[in-house]
Homo-oligomer: A and B are copies of this chain.
């Protein structure tokens, strides 16, 4: 789902003017230990890293470099970009060192992940959290990158960003979400709204409607990302604090019974009772053949006993039109309208 071989909307460089025009969207008050990285500006240098799996093909690496350049940035290639060790982009120590170096490097302004796959939990103990804390930068990625986003926010107080990988096409939708969060630094602003109809109305409505599971309104800091990765942090020293958070979850390629098992683990661990609200993003390629509950049933049932707003269907996850969700930022979840509203600046 992540792989794209065409740049749809970037090569015409519509963002360049947006980047050039980007100014301050308001003062960024420090909230305790919260660290806001510098917003993206034209000409900045983006470090491109592979902390999890390697690129599928070399052409995907060149594509990712083109994507980042077309967004208006210089690219600093990670040392491990072309490494392949089965499903990992090189040995753990090398991937961790590459990642740490990008935060230490004064030439690098932001860090984008080329892709997810699998591998970030393996390097969590090898990250240099002190250096990351001393050099706050935008960190962008999703899927397996979820472990990094949440662990780094937890340990460093840095706001991190659940959003597109570099090796994917940026649709107009994705580009606009990316721009409003990371470039223009807008707030308050709605994140991940269902895009307007494309293609046949029936199909798009089914996929892109935001569904209310439980109404009401709640505030909290955002944590979450990939459900599998969030569960794989449970019981470890990298388990995030779920209390009073707005939890967002997505996944890909997991059968409903697996989604059930993972949500049941979060429930048994008390996490679903600790959060102030839940946003289910997209659960794509869920292998729903056979004698199974639907994903909708599983999500709805596990939410049924909760007393917080729960919505489903925001554009979070393995989809072409994808929003950017800042991990650690204060947000409001309006369960009645299905809106997730960013409440504070997330870049400085």
* Chain B residues within an 8 Å CB radius of A234: 234-236, 265
* Contact, CB under 8 Å: B232 / A239: no
> What residue in chain B is nearest A86 (Cβ atoms)?
B293
* Contact, CB under 8 Å: B87 / A257: yes
* Contact, CB under 8 Å: A265 / B87: no
With contacts A118-B257, A257-B118 known, is A235 near B269, CB below 8 A?
yes
* Chain B residues within an 8 Å CB radius of A86: 291-293, 297
User: Interface readout for A244-273 with B: 1 if CB under 8 Å, 0 if not?
Assistant: 000000000000110011101100111100
| C-alpha gap A257/B235 in the complex (Å) | 20
* Chain B residues within an 8 Å CB radius of A201: none
* Contact, CB under 8 Å: A265 / B118: no
Q: Is A125 an interface residue (CB 8 A)?
A: yes
**Can you spell out 29 A-B residue pairs with CB atoms less than 8 angstroms apart?**
A84-B291, A86-B292, A86-B293, A86-B297, A87-B257, A118-B260, A118-B261, A121-B261, A121-B265, A122-B264, A124-B268, A231-B231, A232-B261, A232-B264, A232-B265, A233-B268, A234-B234, A234-B235, A234-B236, A235-B235, A235-B265, A235-B269, A235-B271, A236-B265, A236-B268, A236-B269, A237-B268, A237-B270, A238-B268
Q: How large is the interface on A (under 10, 10 to 19, 20 to 34, 35 or more residues)?
A: 20 to 34
* Chain B residues within an 8 Å CB radius of A124: 268
Contact of A87 among B239, B270, B291 (CB under 8 A): B291
* Chain B residues within an 8 Å CB radius of A237: 268, 270
- Least Cβ distance of A93 to chain B in Å? 13
- Least Cβ distance of A243 to chain B in Å? 14
- Least Cβ distance of A274 to chain B in Å? 12
CB-CB contacts below 8 Å: A193-252 with B: 228, 231-239
